[in-house]
Amino acid sequence: MAHTHEHHHCESCEHHHHHEGETRRQLVLILVAALLLVGAVLVEHTLHLATWQLLLVYLVPYLLVGYGTLKEAAEGIAHGDFFNEHFLMTVATVGALAIGFLPEAGHEFVEAVAVMLFFSVGELFEAYAEGKSRDSIAHLMNLRPDTTTVVRDGKELIVTPEEVAVGETIVICPGERVPLDGVVLTGATALNTAAITGETLPRDVAAGDEVVSGCVNLSGVVTVRVTAAYGESTVAKIIELVEHAGEHKSHSETFIARFAHIYTPIVVLAAVALVVIPTLLGGALATWLYRALMFLVVSCPCALVISVPLTFFAGIGGASRRGILVKGANYIDMLAKVGTVVFDKTGTLTHGVFDVTAVHPATCDERQLLHLAAHVEHFTTHPIGAALRNAFPDEAIDGCAVEEVEEIAGQGISALIDGKRVSVGNIKLMEAVGAEWRDCHHSGTIIHVAIEGVYAGHIVTNDRIKDDSAQAIDALRQAGVAHTVMLTGDRDEVGAHVAAKLGVDEYHAELLPADKVQRVEQLLTQRERGKWLAFVGDGINDAPVLARADVGIAMGGLGSDAAIEAADVVLMDDKPSKVALAIKIARRTLSIARANVVFAIAVKLTVLLLAAFGLATLWLAVFADVGVTVLAVLNAMRALKSHKL
């Protein structure tokens, strides 16, 4: 199994390079074809060649740049999908090449190649904008320890997790990741489960408790009896979930593809009618064939094909200037139509770091209580310790003697401060020292303090809600998002407290990564038609859900690599209010794209009518096409400016 992991890693890298190379090759092809086209025009003007010889000269750049399009068109026909944009391009350009062989017509080789060239540029823009950032989930492998210490015949051996059998005993030291799922045999420690559950509070485990792979061991040495082989472990399952989630995703068809399906058959039928009907009525075949082909060239949706992807590309650029990374044009399309936004709590709506939110002393004053707690927690690695230290930063000035610091796993810490035994921890610790603790009406994690076995009060710590979380939910409501949901691995009362404070429509608490995926799947079935579901999260445990939602939005500042890989949109500065901004930018981009389409079609129809009555030449047709394209491209660039939103 170890080898397959290595192999997988290399493959993803190769895949990535392959994609970059592909875009570069495409660019070189376009430049070479453009030069050859210029060359062909020079050849035509200097040498007097027969039409068929000229055709051969023009065919070189045409086939060079159009090969991919022709191939796609042929594949479409083979699959019975005639009317895609590739087919339209092929008919129009092949028609333009063929006109030259009619007795009274001039040839239109230049346009044929130019049209194909423009089309390829548009496609290149799209490919570049997509920038395949979801190629590798190799980062997820950080979750997986490369080695583990197993006890065999009384000796400690270092092996890979795959080599450990169910029932064997492994030793996990502080700072190591738990390699396999199992049950603690000896020792006690605190585990950081953030990578798996997103839960910020470390989980205390002692003999008989279950441990889950992927967590980090914080404080003590434990021996664990393995209960599941590596392939069945939590980490392996999460990695697999992410790798397969992409397959379920419904990609909204690109706008152009949808448009071409309606537009192409109409244009082709109209062109056929333009040849058949007048000829039957006694018109000259060549004249009407020329008009029909001109009709096709004019109708060739060049401006659309370039400006629409370009609008999306500019929208992506405009969003990235605001710290919102969108990984593809189709996600702009989907963001504009988001109807449900699901948030993960920890690290997304909250900071994932603890703060002291209330101090309730029983015997001394607040300052004294915090002071003692900060001293006792001075050396601990526990996040709550950090919160208590931050709440009382000026402890450097006082000269209290702190001795005999003792960490009691699963309970808390006690120490001698100026000769008095101060215990700081949970209810279990209070009961152990015989202090009469009181419960608290505040939601959060309650830290109790006792001095010499006498209850001194408690301190409430809470995961701090981000400053703009409430505003984020509000902004989404104003943007017309009908439904907001919060999911969390945290305890129910914490979930309820945060949900009430922020005003989300519904919340679900105490969820594991797999439960989150299930919840999202359930919500996916309930959403309205044409409305998409976005999930916003940051932890490794969110990666499967991010990949499963229609649009996965990851927090990029603090978020894990795995989540950023699995997401479709990344918010670089961890502000949940950026979700509403992303939706606004997407909607504006879409409206610019629509304006381009309407404008381009209006100009096209005018020239088409003129062409049908013989009042337009192919050059006018091409001019209309290029002119519209230039204007549409300039309009598309407006999508770059997002600072007004």
- The answer for 188, left when phi > 0, alpha when psi is -120 to 50, beta otherwise, is beta
Structural domain total, the chain: 2
The larger pLDDT score, comparing residue 100 to residue 2, is at 100
Q: What secondary structure, in 3-state letters, does 270-301 show?
A: HHHHHHHHHHHCCCCHHHHHHHHHHHHHHHCC
pLDDT band at 297 (very low <50, low <70, confident <90, very high): low
What is the tens place of the pLDDT at every residue in 283-294?
A: 777 778 777 777
| Boundary residue ending a domain (445, 464, 483) | 464
What is the pLDDT at residue 133? 29
Q: Closest Cα to residue 201, out of 187, 218, 220, 185?
A: 218
What is the tens place of the pLDDT at every residue in 52-79?
A: 888 888 888 999 888 888 888 888 888 8
Average pLDDT over residues 101-116: 71
Reduced to 3 states, what is the DSSP secondary structure of residue 19? helix
pLDDT band at 224 (very low <50, low <70, confident <90, very high): very high
pLDDT band at 583 (very low <50, low <70, confident <90, very high): very high
- If you ran DSSP here, which 8-state letter would residue 82 be given? -
CB atoms within 10 A of CB 232: 13
Residue pair 205/216 in contact by the 8 Å Cβ criterion:
no
From residue 464, alpha-carbon distances to 357, 445, 460, 468, 495 in Å are 9, 12, 12, 12, 13
Residue type, 136: S
The answer to whether position 416 is within a domain reads: yes
Q: What's the CA gap between 264 and 278, in Å, rounded?
A: 22
pLDDT band at 378 (very low <50, low <70, confident <90, very high): confident
Residue pair 555/571 in contact by the 8 Å Cβ criterion:
yes
Give catalytic status of residue 344 as yes or no. Answer: yes
Q: What's the CA gap between 411 and 313, in Å, rounded?
A: 55
The answer to whether position 237 is within a domain reads: no
Q: Closest Cα to residue 469, out of 564, 520, 536?
A: 536
Tell me the pTM. 0.64
The answer to whether position 194 is within a domain reads: yes
pLDDT band at 249 (very low <50, low <70, confident <90, very high): very low
Two tokens, residue 177: 């990741």
Residue pair 445/459 in contact by the 8 Å Cβ criterion:
no
Q: What's the CA gap between 229 and 236, in Å, rounded?
A: 10
Reduced to 3 states, what is the DSSP secondary structure of residue 205? strand
Residue pair 216/178 in contact by the 8 Å Cβ criterion:
yes
| Boundary residue ending a domain (421, 439, 464) | 464
Residue pair 460/361 in contact by the 8 Å Cβ criterion:
no
The answer to whether position 385 is within a domain reads: yes
What is the pLDDT at residue 225? 93
The answer to whether position 137 is within a domain reads: no
What proportion of the chain, given as a percentage, has pLDDT over 90? 4
Give residues with Cβ within 8 angstroms of 199, minimum separation 6. 193, 346, 489, 490
Average pLDDT over residues 177-190: 87
- Range(s) of the domain holding residue 165: 145-178+181-228
The larger pLDDT score, comparing residue 490 to residue 100, is at 490
Residue pair 639/311 in contact by the 8 Å Cβ criterion:
yes
- Domain of 453, CATH number, reads 3.40.1110.10
The answer to whether position 162 is within a domain reads: yes
pLDDT band at 95 (very low <50, low <70, confident <90, very high): confident
- If you ran DSSP here, which 8-state letter would residue 567 be given? -
pLDDT band at 200 (very low <50, low <70, confident <90, very high): low
CB atoms within 10 A of CB 373: 30
Residue 598 has pLDDT above 80, yes or no: yes
| Boundary residue ending a domain (169, 193, 228) | 228
Reduced to 3 states, what is the DSSP secondary structure of residue 106? coil
What is the tens place of the pLDDT at every residue in 143-177?
A: 567 788 898 888 888 888 888 888 999 998 888 88
The answer to whether position 440 is within a domain reads: yes
Annotated active-site residue in 181, 333, 344, 561? 344
- Domain of 155, CATH number, reads 2.70.150.10
The answer to whether position 389 is within a domain reads: yes
The larger pLDDT score, comparing residue 109 to residue 258, is at 109
What is the pLDDT at residue 617? 67
pLDDT band at 631 (very low <50, low <70, confident <90, very high): confident
The larger pLDDT score, comparing residue 429 to residue 143, is at 429
Q: CA triplet 452, 455, 460: central angle to 5 degrees?
A: 125
Q: What's the CA gap between 372 and 387, in Å, rounded?
A: 13
Q: Closest Cα to residue 238, out of 180, 210, 196?
A: 196
pLDDT band at 184 (very low <50, low <70, confident <90, very high): very high
Two tokens, residue 221: 């040495």
What is the pLDDT at residue 250? 42
Burial letters 475-496, b for 16+ CB under 10 A, else e:
bbbebebebbbbbbbbbeebbe
